[in-house]
Amino acid sequence: MKKIITLCLLLLSGLTLVAFTDTIKNPSKDKLLIEIISYVLNRGHFSPTEIDDVFSENVYMNYLNGLDGRHQFFIKTDINNFNSYKRKIDDQIKASKIDFFNLSHEKFLQRMGQVKSFYPALLEQPFDFNKKESISTDYENTPYAQSLTELKTKWRKFLKLNAIGIYAGLKEREEDKKESDSTYIIKSDADLEIETREVLKEDMKYFFEVRDDLNRNDFFSLYVNAIALQFDPHTSYLAPSAKERFDQNISGKFEGIGARLSKRNQEIEIVEVISGGPVWRDKLIEPGDKILKVAQVDETPVDVVGMRLDDVIKLIKGPKGTQVFLTIKKVDGSTVVVPITRDVIELEEAFAKSTIIEKNNQRFGLIHLPRFYVDFSDYGNRNAASDVKKEIAKLKEEGVEGIVFDLRNNGGGSLQTVVDMAGYFIEQGPIVQVKSTGGQKQILRDEDKSIEWDGPLVVMVNEFSASASEILVAALQDYKRAIVLGSKQTFGKGTVQNVIDLNQIISNNTYGDLGAMKLTTDKFYRINGGSTQLEGVKSDIIFPNRYAYIDTGEKDQDNPLEWDKISPAEFNLWSSGDQYNYAIDRSRKRLANNPFVQLINEQAKWIKSRQNDNDYSLNFDAYLAKNEATDKKTEKFKKLNEFESILSFKALDKDLPLIEKDDVSKEKRVRWEESLGKDIYVDEAINVLSDLMKFKGNKRSIAQVKQ
pLDDT in tens, 234-284: 999 999 888 888 887 787 777 888 888 888 777 899 988 887 788 888 888
d(CA 571, CA 619): 65
Architecture per CATH, domain 253-346, reads as Roll (2.30)
* Amino acid found at 65: N
β-bridge pairing 323-329 and 134-136: unpaired
pLDDT tens string 643-663? 999 999 999 999 888 888 777
Q: HSE on the CB side for 35, CA within 13 Å?
A: 21
Which amino acid would we find at residue 68?
D
Separation between Cα atoms, residue 537 and residue 349, nearest integer Å: 26
Cα 197 from Cα 380, distance rounded (Å):
56
Q: What percent of the chain has pLDDT over 90?
A: 64
pLDDT per position as a tens digit, 282-315? 888 888 889 998 999 988 888 888 888 888 988 9
pLDDT-derived band at 370, boundaries 50, 70, 90: very high
| Domain covering 348-705: architecture | Alpha-Beta Complex (3.90)
- Helical (H) or strand (E) element with 341: strand 335-341
The answer to which of 69-73, 358-362, 446-450, 659-663 has the lowest mean pLDDT is 659-663
Cα separation, 665 vs 659, whole angstroms: 5
Helix (H), strand (E) at residue 241? helix 240-251
pLDDT at 9 over 50: no
Q: How far apart are CA 244 and CA 319, in angstroms?
A: 13
Of 206-210, 561-565, 571-575, the range with the highest mean pLDDT is 561-565
Q: Report the alpha-carbon distance of residue 539 to residue 528 in Å, rounded.
A: 16
SS3 217: helix
Q: Where are the alpha helices (DSSP H) in 181-215?
A: 189-212
SS3 407: coil
CA 338 to chain centre: 34
Least confident window among 83-97, 190-204, 246-260: 246-260
Percentages of the chain per state (helix, strand, coil), in multiples of 5: 45, 20, 40
**pLDDT band for position 2 (cuts 50, 70, 90):** very low
Q: Among the ranges 114-123, 169-178, 577-586, which has the highest mean pLDDT value?
A: 114-123
H or E segment at 74? none
Residue 119 clears pLDDT 60, i.e. is over it: yes
Would strands 259-264 and 253-256 be described as parallel, antiparallel, or unpaired? unpaired
- Across-strand partners of 255? 344
pTM > 0.95: no
Q: Which residue has the higher pLDDT, 106 or 547?
A: 106
Instruction: List, by residue range, all CATH 2.30.42.10 domains of the chain.
Output: 253-346
The answer to whether 504 and 479 have CB atoms below 8 angstroms apart is: no
Query: CB under 8 Å, gap of 24 or more: what pairs does 82-89 form?
Result: 85/60, 86/56, 86/57, 86/60, 87/53, 87/56, 87/57, 88/56, 89/55, 89/56, 89/59, 89/60, 89/227
Q: Which of 94, 38, 36, 42 is nearest to 501 (CA)?
A: 36
pLDDT at residue 696, as a whole number: 59
Contact indicator for 264, 302 with CB cutoff of 8 Å: no
So what's the pLDDT on residue 51?
A: 95
Contact 323, 652 (CB under 8 A): no
- AA identity, residue 590: R
- 210 three-class SS: helix
Q: Which pLDDT score, from 0 to 100, does residue 88 have?
A: 97
Terminal CA-to-CA distance of the chain, rounded, Å? Answer: 57
Q: Is beta strand 648-650 parallel, antiparallel or unpaired with respect to 134-136? A: unpaired
- 576 pLDDT tier (thresholds 50, 70, 90): low
CATH 3.90.226.10 positions along the chain are 348-705
**Gap between the Cα atoms of 474 and 675, Å rounded:** 27
